[in-house]
Every structure is written in structure tokens, then in C-alpha cells.
Amino acid sequence: MEARIAVLGGDGIGPEVTAESIRVLDAVAERFEHDFTYVGGRVGGNAIDEFGTALPQDTLNLVLGSDAVLFGAVGGPKWDNPEIDIRPEDGILRLRKNLGLFANIRPCKIYPQLIGTSPIKQDRLEGVDFVIIRELTGGLYFGKPKRKWENSRGRRAVDTLAYTEKEIERVVRVAFELARTRKKILHSLDKMNVMETSRLWREIASELSVEFHDVEVVHMLADNAAMQMITNPSVFDVIVTENTFGDILSDESAVIGGSLGMIPSASLASSPPTDGKKRRRGGKPALYEPIHGSAPDIAGRGIANPIGSILSASMMLRWSFGLHEEADAIETSINNALSDGYRTVDIAGDGGNVMGTSQIGDMIAGRIRM
Ligand code: IPM
Ligand code: MN
């Protein structure tokens, strides 16, 4: 098949890890005889420096003309001044909003090879394999008013947490549909003891559970879930929650597996198509990115773990292009590279053969060609 992939590396380690994904995709194209075309665009801090905006119109046009987006990371200390209005993060936030990508899927699974790198006690890690579905285009991230100002009594700031029925319903529906294909248990997280938006969330999740009567829905307070995720992570299978809770809890979930560098994500405008035929929804592509940030502390040193990005590319093959055998080939080769002892520094807790970003990329791409 032919596919046109927009590649937005962004800042920091973003371009470094994304480059390895492309090498792995090239290996897939070679072995399975596909024709992937990559089109690169600027986003984030480097786009601010050059064009004065985190998401130049050219980048948006290129994204809209592509079949899927492979995204790296944005941000860095250079652009962290809170006094400045234009922020690198606007690049990804505006992309999510523009493409209508309301469902962000973040898997958490333990690689047995890496069990020693997890700070969690081993007996808690058995059977851990869950997915967080984070609402991605609403809540505190986008609610208005959103501003900071000063009056005679001092400085003030406001963010707004607002959700419509439709916004909640569509993302909880995606979660129910995914739960149906897995263990049929859905944890819906909220703070209904405090917030109106959470009470609406819980109401809608309960109403939908009538339609999805084969799925057991467990409503849980998000703070309790944060604790359970560490003390008892194997109780979860599919989790659904609003934007900010999902952001925080997905970083927490990454610790369980041993490294933030290992976790991919898919941002979709519909449920993952089971037939893989719908490559674009409403004419717009889906976006795939590792959940880690631009990691300025290690940027440019060639030591970042590219596996989160490579697994994101695999999710792209599966969910935007319906290429399941190809996605399996990537996942198997990552698994084999780990079994053969190859490690980047973040997952080298128990030794192994520690190598850089492009070396491990080579190991993974090489195992696909074999
Ligand atoms: C993430 C990141 C982003 C978010 C930032 C970079 C805006 O932390 O994808 O989790 O908060 O959504
Ligand atoms: Mn985050």
C-alpha cells in the first residue's frame, strides 16, 4: 500500500526518536513491499523561533494532506518563560484540537525483560496490562476563560473545566468499545465528590453502561485510582478519564513499566477501526506520539530511548492503515531486541548491553528485515 506520513519531530529528543521510527518503518516497507512517503514539518519551539508560531500554517496544511501523523515532542527551557504568550505546547494542543482527536490511547504493559527496572515490587507487576483512554480535546486544557491578570488586590489566574454531554459521551463510548474487545471491565475515573463536570461524567458513563451491558463499569475516584495504580495495578484493564487526570495518571502508569521512554500513544477521532479500512475520519488523519516530552536534559546526546516512538509507529500501522501483520512484526522485533539484552540507559537497571538511540533503532529495524 501507499501512505503519506507527516513527520513532526519537534524539539529536544523528539527528532532523535522519530528518526528511528522512520528507519523501522523503512524496514517494514522493504519487507512487506509498501510505499511510505514522509513529509517533514516544523512544530513547537523551533517553529516559534523561525516563524513566530508553534504551529505554522504550512505544517497544518501538510498534516491535513497526509494519511497519518508521527509526532515527536515539543518544549524546552528556552521557551519556558511564563511571561511569554506563545508556547511550544500550543503546537501539539492546536493539532489535537484541529484534527478533532478526542480519544488518546496510552497502553501500559510490562515487558518481563524489564521487570527489574520497575520501582514497583515484582509481585505487584504480574498480569499488568491496561490501557488509559484520556479525553484529549476538552477540559482544563481548552476551557475558556483561561488567563492570568493583575488588579489592585494582586495577581489572579483562571482556568476553566467544562465538558459537554457530547464530549463525554463520545470518549466514554470509545472506552466501552475497547473494553468489549478486552476483559470487559471499564474503570471510569472522576472526582464526583468535588466537581460538577465529574458528576456529569459519571452520569453519562452510567447511562452508556446500559447499552454496553456486557461490560462491567467501575466508577472510581481519580485520587484513589492513582493509589491503586501503584499498589494494585493488575486490577485495571481499560481506564477512561478526562484530559488532566489522564495526563497525570498516564505518566504515573509509565513508571510501573520501568520507563517513560517505552510508552506510545494514539490520538484518534473515533474508535480504533477493527477492519483498519478507515484510514482518515472526516478527511483528517490520526496522530501518534510517545507520551514522553522533549527531555532537554538528554537532548542531542544520542541516548534517548526510541521505543515509545517506534511503538507509536506500530500503532499507526495498525489503526490508521490496518497493517496488523506489520505492526506485529515491529512489536516482535522490539521484544526480541530486549530479550537479546539490548538497552538504552533508561532501561538498563539490570545491566544488559547499553547502547544509544540509533544503535537500538538499528537492532529493531534489523530484526524486522531478518
Ligand atoms: C502529553 C504532554 C502534553 C500534555 C504537553 C506537552 C502539552 O504532557 O502529551 O502528555 O499535557 O498533554
Ligand atoms: Mn503528559
pLDDT the model gives residue 333: 98
Name the residue with the closest Cα to ligand 1, atom 1.
Answer: 291
Q: Are residues 78 and 148 in the same domain?
A: no
User: Whole domain around residue 177: which residue ranges?
Assistant: 119-257
Sheet hosting strand 238-241, strand order edge to edge: 35-40, 2-10, 68-73, 286-288, 266-268, 103-109, 129-135, 238-241, 185-190, 216-221
Q: Are residues 180 and 236 in the same domain?
A: yes
What count of other Cβ atoms lies within 10 Å of the Cβ of residue 139? 24
Around ion ligand 2, residues with a beta carbon closer than 5 Å are 247
Please report whether residue 114 resides in a domain.
Answer: no
Each of the 370 residues of the chain gets a pLDDT tens digit; together they read 999 999 999 999 999 999 999 999 999 999 999 999 999 999 999 999 999 999 999 999 999 999 999 999 999 999 998 888 899 999 999 999 999 999 999 999 999 999 989 999 999 999 999 999 999 999 999 999 999 999 999 999 999 999 999 999 999 999 999 999 999 999 999 999 999 999 999 999 999 999 999 999 999 999 999 999 999 999 999 999 999 999 999 999 999 988 999 999 999 998 876 555 555 555 799 999 999 999 999 999 999 999 999 999 999 999 999 999 999 999 999 999 999 999 999 999 868 899 999 999 999 999 999 8
Q: Are residues 324 and 271 in the same domain?
A: yes
Catalytic choice (191, 288, 342, 362): 191
Helix and strand counts by DSSP (H, E) for the chain: 12, 14
Q: Are residues 128 and 250 in the same domain?
A: yes
Q: Which atom of ligand 1 is nearest to the CA of 251?
A: 10
Query: Minimum-distance ligand to the CA of 89?
Result: 1
Q: Are residues 85 and 174 in the same domain?
A: no
Q: Which atom of ligand 1 is nearest to the CA of 75?
A: 6
Q: Are residues 85 and 167 in the same domain?
A: no
52: domain CATH number is 3.40.718.10
Q: Are residues 235 and 314 in the same domain?
A: no
- The pTM assigned to this predicted structure is 0.96
> Are 21 and 312 within 8 A, CB to CB?
yes
Q: Are residues 128 and 253 in the same domain?
A: yes
Catalytic choice (223, 297, 328, 340): 223
340-349 as b/e, with b when 16 or more CB fall inside 10 Å? eebbbbbbbb
* Vertex 343 angle, CA 31 and 237, to 5°: 80
Q: How many CA atoms lie within 13 A of 305 on its CB side?
A: 26
Please report whether residue 201 resides in a domain.
Answer: yes
How far is it, in rounded angstroms, from Cα 370 to Cα 161? 50
Please report whether residue 355 resides in a domain.
Answer: yes
Q: Are residues 126 and 250 in the same domain?
A: yes
Cβ of 92 closer than 6 Å to ligand 1, yes or no, is: yes
Q: How far is the CA of 247 from the centre of ligand 1 (A)?
A: 7
163 catalytic? Reply is: no
223 catalytic? Reply is: yes
Q: Are residues 92 and 146 in the same domain?
A: no
Q: Which of 226, 257, 288 is the last residue of a domain?
A: 257
Catalytic choice (90, 190, 247, 362): 247
Q: How far is the CA of 262 from the centre of ligand 2 (A)?
A: 14
Q: Which of 257, 285, 303 is the last residue of a domain?
A: 257
Q: 3-class DSSP state for residue 10? A: strand
Query: Minimum-distance ligand to the CA of 141?
Result: 1
pLDDT the model gives residue 84: 85
Total number of domains constituting the chain: 2
Query: Minimum-distance ligand to the CA of 135?
Result: 1
Q: Which of 228, 257, 286 is the last residue of a domain?
A: 257
Q: Are residues 102 and 123 in the same domain?
A: no
Please report whether residue 43 resides in a domain.
Answer: yes
Please report whether residue 140 resides in a domain.
Answer: yes
Please report whether residue 113 resides in a domain.
Answer: no
Q: Are residues 165 and 239 in the same domain?
A: yes
Please report whether residue 288 resides in a domain.
Answer: yes
